Structures are given as C-alpha cells and as structure tokens.
Amino acid sequence: MNSKGRIVIKLGGGLITNKNLSKTINKEAIKNVCNTIKQLNDEGYVLIIVHGAGSYGHILSKKMDIANGINNEIQEQQINAVQQIRSNMIELNNEVIKSLKKIGLVAIGHPPSKWAKGIGKDFTGNLDIFETINNDKIPICFGDVVDRDDSNKFGILSGDDLMYRISMEIPNVNFTIFLLGDVDGVLTNPPNNVNAKLIKNYSKNDITNTSHSSDIDVTGGIDLKLLRAVEISKKIENVWFLNGNRSERIMQLIHTGTTIGTKILP
Ligand code: IP8
C-alpha cells in the first residue's frame, strides 16, 4: 500500500442515470467522472468504486415492492423482477467498467448478489475483495438485490451501506466521497426550493429539510447517505458530498483538503 492511501468514491445513481426514466444512462457524466478517477489513479491513489442504482434499480424495485421481501400474492412477478434488476445492475456496472477501460483503467465488478447477504449496514459477505494492494485493478460494486436468510428471502442492499462497511473495514482510507447528480452537496432545503443553501459542514444534529423522493427511491435517499456518512466520519477524517458534475472540485479536495461541497463531521 502506498503512502497516498485509498479513496472510496460513490457515483450516485442520480449522477450516472436519469432517476425518473427507467434505464436511462448519463454517459457524459460517467465519462467525466471516469476521467477524474483516471487522474487520481495516475497520481497513485488506490481507489474503490461503489455506484448507485438510479433508474436501473429503483423504479422496478418500487413497482414490485422488492425492499419488503417476498409477498406470496405476487411472488412469481417478484422473482422475475429480482432477476431483471440484478441483470440491469450488471449492465449499468458494465457501462462504468467500459468507460474506465476506454481510458486505460481495469476495473473488476463485484455484484453484491453474488457475495453479500442481508441488508443494512450489518450485511454479511467477505470484504477482502476490496483490499487490493496496488492500483492496477480497481474493485467496483453497487447497490443490488441480495438474498436474505430470513422469511423475506430477498431485499435491497444500498450502495450507502457498502460505502459504510468498506470505509470502516478496509485499511488506509483517507477520503470517502459521495458524488451527487444535481447539487453541490447537502442543502438546507430540497434543491428546487429558492431558499436552498449549501451546508459546508454537516454534523449529526444539523437539521435539513431533505427531499427524499420515496415515490422513486426504495433505499433511504439522502437521509440514509447522511446517516452513514456521519458514522463513517467517526473514523475517516475526510467524508464529503460533492457535485459529481464538477470534477475539478474532486481534484481540489484531494490536493488541498477542501473545496465547494459538504464536509461531514462526526
Ligand atoms: O442506489 C439501490 O442502491 P442505491 C439498489 O445505492 C437497488 O441505494 C437495486 C435499487
């Protein structure tokens, strides 16, 4: 492990897809963020990538009530939907891997449905796959439908829970970064509110009037992200929410320790 340490970065589903329209990808955003990842990799940082599901996962999960586990009345449709969502997620993951490959980076996808069980931050599964010793193969995983050992049979493991466990358990993480799609960081009000202002330092007791669009999002939206991020910040000094469309801010943060965005405090 080199002295620069690791960066754990989540490409939010709202950044890499259009969340409202089923299976619509934002290739330009993926390309830009991959270029930044390349720069970081060239500078010797070891990266771990997590990504969200956006419209490749949340819409069908919502429609088929996947988060609440098996429902005998619609069991058959649900089982088909689970297969469909898992395959959608691998497709989205492959788009990110392909985009990295185009610029000379090798990323290895680790679909959680194949190695993780259970939902929430106490899911089980061997996290050693993320503990790469150099930066020539970047591990990448994503929020997914996973099996559960209880009567629910399946459920949704969010990329935010993966961010938490990876940041807490893999050694030498110096930065944990959540990239958002359309905002500069955590805001005081939903982004469409004219009074919305950027919160530069967020800690647990800060009140935000977040807009968790539960009609689309089947995990916890910004609320779950914030909860996990605060927990991560107890261990990792640099936990940030940034605008994923402003790659220069990611570089500025890594180089100077600060930028426009929200720093999460314990
Ligand atoms: O977007 C959700 O992951 P997230 C995964 O990281 C699915 O919360 C399949 C909806």
Helix (H, G, I), strand (E, B) or coil at 183: coil
Atom of ligand 1 nearest to the CA of 51: 6
Kindly give the parts of the chain with pLDDT less than 70. 1-3, 207-216
pLDDT value at residue 2 = 63
Rounded distance, CA 140 to CA 192, Å? 32
Rounded distance, CA 261 to CA 266, Å? 16
Q: Which of 218, 224, 225, 227 to mutate to test the pocket of ligand 1 (most atoms within 8 A of CB)?
A: 218
Answer yes or no: is the C-beta of 59 below 6 A from any ligand 1 atom. Answer: no
pLDDT value at residue 238 = 98
**Residue 132 Cα to chain centre, angstroms:** 19
Q: Are 111 and 56 in contact (CB under 8 A)?
A: no
| Assigned token pair, 89 | 């997620």
pLDDT value at residue 192 = 85
pLDDT value at residue 219 = 73
pLDDT value at residue 207 = 63
Answer yes or no: is the C-beta of 52 below 6 A from any ligand 1 atom. Answer: yes
| Assigned token pair, 199 | 């919160």
Q: Are 169 and 180 in contact (CB under 8 A)?
A: no
pLDDT value at residue 130 = 97
Answer yes or no: is the C-beta of 13 below 6 A from any ligand 1 atom. Answer: yes
CA distances from 226 to 86, 210, 222 (A): 26, 10, 6
Q: Which of 9, 58, 68, 217 to mutate to test the pocket of ligand 1 (most atoms within 8 A of CB)?
A: 58
Atom of ligand 1 nearest to the CA of 160: 6
Specify the pTM: 0.95
pLDDT value at residue 3 = 67
Helices (H) then strands (E): counts for the chain: 8, 10
Answer yes or no: is the C-beta of 219 below 6 A from any ligand 1 atom. Answer: yes
Rounded distance, CA 108 to CA 106, Å? 7
Answer yes or no: is the C-beta of 244 below 6 A from any ligand 1 atom. Answer: no
DSSP conformational letter for 71: -
Position 10: which residue type? K
Q: Which of 86, 96, 142 to mutate to test the pocket of ligand 1 (most atoms within 8 A of CB)?
A: 142
